[in-house]
Structure 1
């Protein structure tokens, strides 16, 4: 009762529910094995997979696993939604957030959220959207937690039916595509069959094939190149299934734990070019009337430069000494020398790097692999991968052939590039590596790798740029 004698009316205020969003959870203290099931929404008969992953993965690490498990090619954007309303939240790719594609009021990045925050108990769900145009929505359910599995291996356990082709129009478009493929009398049957390719079988699924892809994914994750390197960009264009030999070399290539003495490598990799630039000197070298290096200079190069006296021709004409001519051409290609009024002179860059091995080294890392055409550059990257991995010549041929085929290169008659043509495609890079001694006769038949340790480190560094 109040001082005025009136009765005060009291009411019970209901508890306001505390909303805890998945990203606010602490996650598990100890890593466990998460048994997950993923199913593609709005597709019948269902396309699903069961698989095991470590509970402490962040969502950006789960993404490539989901892509491999399902069979997608990772050529579109994606996002996630975790939690039940009103506690649900969306997780976007860092690229989507930085480029303004994500909702400004809900910019949670997938690399900041762990799987065991989003899925804490069996039965909880996580949505995964792939390709915002086609709109492929997936539902991921946590089926079981294996608390005794402290270091679970990512493994596919079971599944059903093949992944739809990319860019087929989402669930509705895929349903229409299947009807056309199943009806030989349909006017679009032939074109649809040609578009999906002869290997597409909608009812097929192979758990062993998926697990091979997961092992390759693990190699890329643990031993792959620097994420923003040019070589990493090339690898992202190569389907795992189409190039198992290429990806199997990543572990041997030691791109993340490089071996060797970097100072020795810099000295060795730049030695021939530095010697040549210093021999040219500030005044340049007067060329013969035909435009070649004088015989006396050629003879000096054969005496002073490792490997140059091994060339079978005995004359001291530049046109007869391929190593001499190649060194001059590579120096020109690299922007270090040029012809001027009957002389071979250094460019400003050539003068600056003649006595600066570190600067010349940085220039080589930026320019390699050497190429005039895209196919030469891509073949050059594959050559460097085989050098970094210490392959034999046979392995080198197989890897380059496989990689170029997986990248879609074909001959004019529509066949894949043959092993006998590979040397000529990759020759700019191979010849330079042989000239400097980084690769020992890179295309000669040999059963054991003979390339120097510094050559492998040289390749590792180029692949990291």
Structure 2
């Protein structure tokens, strides 16, 4: 009763449930082994994998593992959905957010959320969406947590059936493709077989092959290039499943290790160019009537510069001495010299670097790899990677050919780039490195690594830019 004697009307107010989204959950204090199962939605018979990962991975670190265990080529956008409604939330790629593709009201980035937040208890689910055009949805379930293993690692345990080909039209398109492939009388049977390639077997799955690719993922994580380097940008465009040899070199390239004797490398890498600029001097060199270096200067270069006296021709004409002509052309390409009123003269940049090995070194690091065409520069990065990793000439050809093919380059007749064409693709960088002595010529090196240690250091530094 109230003070006035009137009865108060009371009602029960229900408790408002507290919604805790996955990203707001606490993270595990320890690092456990998460046993996961992933299955491709709306595909029958099922395509699935069982694999183990550390619980402390962020979702952007889990992404390449999912791509590898499934067998995708990582050539499309992806996203995640965690939690159950009304607590579910979406996690987007950093690129999708930065470029405005994500929903402005739902812009949680995958690199800000850990796996042990979205999957905290066995039985919880995480959705992984890949290629929004084809619409490949995957369901990931946490099957078991093993907190007793001393060093959680990444491994594939089991699976069934091959991953569908990229760009085949999603679950419906894949079902149609399998029907066509299984029906020799179908009018599209031949074209479908040519499109998927002779090696495609829908029922096949090899756990050993998956684990080999997962080991490459570990190499990328532990020995990869500087995140914002140009090499890192190039490698992001290469599906590592298509170029395992390229990525295996990262461990040997030592891109993340402490550098060696940089001052000595600077002196050796810039020796030829600095000598040439000093010889030109402030007055320049008067060229012959035909526009070439005079024979006396050519003879001097052959005598003074390492490796130049190895050229078989005995004439002192520039046209007969390829190393001399190349050094002049590279000095011009690098913006160090120019022709002026019948003379070869230094540019302001060349004058500043003639006596400064450190400044010249920095200029070379910034300009390499060389080439005017995109394919020349991409081949040049692969050349530098093989140099940093200490490969033989034969291995170098194989790696460059594999990398260029994975980047999508083809010859004019539509075939993939072979090991015999790679010299021409990477010629500007290869020739320069051989000219300054950073890399031994292929016909000398053959199947044994013989490149100098300072050349490897030079390549490591270029690849870190």
TM-score, normalisation: structure 2? 0.94
State the distance in 1 between where 2:98 and 2:406 align: 31
Q: Which moved more, 1:230-239 or 1:135-144?
A: 230-239
Q: Is the deviation greater in 128-137 or in 408-417?
A: 408-417
- Equivalent residue, structure 2, for 1:91: 91
More deviation, 133-142/226-235: 226-235
Shift of the alpha carbon at 1:108? 0.8
Of 74-83 and 347-356, deviating more is 347-356
- Give, in whole Å, the separation in 1 of the partners of 2:90 and 2:420: 52
Residue 296 (structure 1) shift: 2.2
Offset from partner CA, 1:171-225 (integer Å, 9 cap, x none) = 1222222222222222222222222222222111111111111111111111112
Q: Does 1:263 align with 2:263?
A: yes
Q: Secondary structure at the match of 1:241?
A: coil
Note the C-alpha offset of 1:264. Answer: 2.6
- Structure-2 residue corresponding to 1:388: 388
Q: Residue 73 of structure 1 corresponds to which residue in structure 2?
A: 73
- The answer as to 2:109 corresponding to 1:128 is no
Which residue of structure 2 aligns with residue 114 of structure 1?
114
Structure 1 range deviating more: 106-115 or 388-397:
388-397
The TM-score normalised by the length of structure 1 is 0.94
Once structures 1 and 2 are overlaid, which stretch shifts more, 363-372 or 336-345? 363-372
State which drifts further: 283-292 or 190-199: 190-199
Give the match for residue 278 of structure 1: 278
Cα displacement (A) at 1:300:
2.6
CA distance in 2, matches of 1:189, 1:392: 43
Residue 20 of structure 1 pairs with residue 54 of structure 2? no
Q: Does 1:59 align with 2:59?
A: yes
C-alpha distance in 2, partners of 1:359/1:41?
57
Query: Distance between the aligned counterparts of 1:130 and 1:418, measured in 2?
Result: 32
Q: Which residue of 1 aligns with 2:6?
A: 6
1:227 aligns with 2:237: no
CA 6–417 in structure 1, closer or farther in 2 if over 3 Å, else same = closer
Q: Name whichever of 183-192 and 27-36 sits farther off.
A: 183-192
CA deviation string 1:278-306 (max 9, x = no partner): 22223211001222112222233233322
Q: Residue 365 of structure 1 corresponds to which residue in structure 2?
A: 365
Matched, 1:199 2:211: no
Q: Aligned-pair distance for 1:25? A: 1.2
List runs of 5+ in structure 1 lacking aligned partners: none
Is 1:397 aligned to 2:397, yes or no? yes
SS at 1:263 equivalent: helix
Cα pair distance change 1:411/1:13, threshold 3 Å: closer
Corresponding residue for 1:342? 342
Contact 2:40 2:139 in 1 (8 A): yes
Whether contact under 8 Å (1:269, 1:436) holds in the other structure is yes
Deviates more, 1:17-26 or 1:235-244: 235-244
Q: Tell me, yes or no, if structure 1 residue 249 matches structure 2 residue 263.
A: no
Q: Could you tell me how far apart the structure 1 residues matched to 2:237 and 2:200 are?
A: 20
Quick one: distance in 2 between partners of 1:298 and 1:390? 33
| Partners of 1:201 and 1:275 in 2: CA distance | 60
Q: Structure 1 residue runs of 4+, over 6 Å off? A: none
Classify the secondary structure of the residue corresponding to 1:240: coil
Contact 2:389 2:456 survives alignment (8 Å): yes
Contact 2:388–2:456 at 8 Å: present in 1 too?
yes
Contact 2:74 2:239 in 1 (8 A): no
1:98-155 CA distance string (max 9 Å, x none): 1111111121110010000110000000011111111111110000001012422211
Q: Which residue of 2 aligns with 1:317?
A: 317
Q: Aligned equivalents of 2:340 and 2:147: distance in 1?
A: 74
Given that 1:33 and 1:150 are in contact with CA atoms closer than 8 Å, whether structure 2 keeps it comes out as no
- How many equivalent residue pairs? 465
User: Conserved in 2, the CA contact under 8 Å of 1:430 and 1:442?
Assistant: no
Could you tell me how far 1:83 is from its partner in structure 2?
A: 0.8
The residue correspondences of 1:113-192 to structure 2 (distance < 5 A) are 113-192=113-192
Q: Distance in 2 between matches of 1:133 and 1:298?
A: 62
Shift of 1:418: 4.5
CA offsets per residue over residues 241-290 of structure 1, 9 Å max, x none? 33322221110001122431223323322222122122222321100122
Contact 2:68 2:241 in 1 (8 A): no
CA contact (8 A) 2:395 2:447 kept: no
RMSD: 2.0
Alpha-carbon distance in 1 for matches of 2:444, 2:418:
17
Alpha carbons of 1:390 and 1:147: their partners in 2 closer, same or farther (altered >3 Å)? same
User: Is the CA contact (8 Å cut-off) linking 2:73 and 2:241 kept in structure 1?
Assistant: no
Q: Provide the rounded CA distance (Å) in 1 between the counterparts of 2:444 and 2:450.
A: 11
Deviates more, 1:265-274 or 1:40-49: 265-274
CA distance in 2, matches of 1:250, 1:442: 21
In structure 2, the gaps of 5 or more residues are none
* 190-199 or 85-94: bigger deviation: 190-199
